[in-house]
Amino acid sequence: MKQEIVIKVTVNGPKSRSKALQTAVGLSGVESAGLGGRDKSQIEVVGDGVDAVELVNLLRKKVGYAELASVAAVGEKKDVNESAAQPVVWPMYGGGMPQTYIYPIHPPPPPPTIIEAEGESERVKQSQFINFE
């Protein structure tokens, strides 16, 4: 199966370009290799049974940075819209009800009572009560 492999490499001059092309052509199964892209920083390799990962590893070892951009069959059409990233659409969720805590209101405690039994009849006296509410 004939494949077209596009690899993005960093080239610093004509020497590194020729070294990258020699490395690509030296691999078995490569039929043609050339530079592509706007700034000639991509290597386009066409061949039958070429291992793209092995080619990228060789280029990393010999030249430096190399990134596999695409692998496609030669007879296959490229769809530009398919390669573009699809925007992520998050579903809309309705706002929930906030949680509230209900605090119970207790009645104030009754005032303390003092019972006096000395010399007087038993009489209930209430002391002063301070309400802190």
Pairwise CA distance, residues 108 & 103, whole Å: 15
What global pTM score does this model have?
0.55
Exposure of 76 in the CB half-sphere (CA atoms within 13 A): 12
> What would the pLDDT profile of 2-28 be if each residue is shown by its tens digit?
999 999 999 888 898 999 999 999 998
The pLDDT of residue 101 is 85
CA dist list (Å): 113 to 1, 50, 58, 107: 103, 101, 97, 18
Set out the domains of the chain in order of their start, with CATH numbers. 2-77 (3.30.70.100)
The pLDDT of residue 53 is 94
- Look at the alpha carbons of 61, 67, 69, 70 in this order and tell me if their dihedral is positive or negative: positive
- Is pLDDT above 50 for 109? yes
Average pLDDT, integer, range 87-108:
82
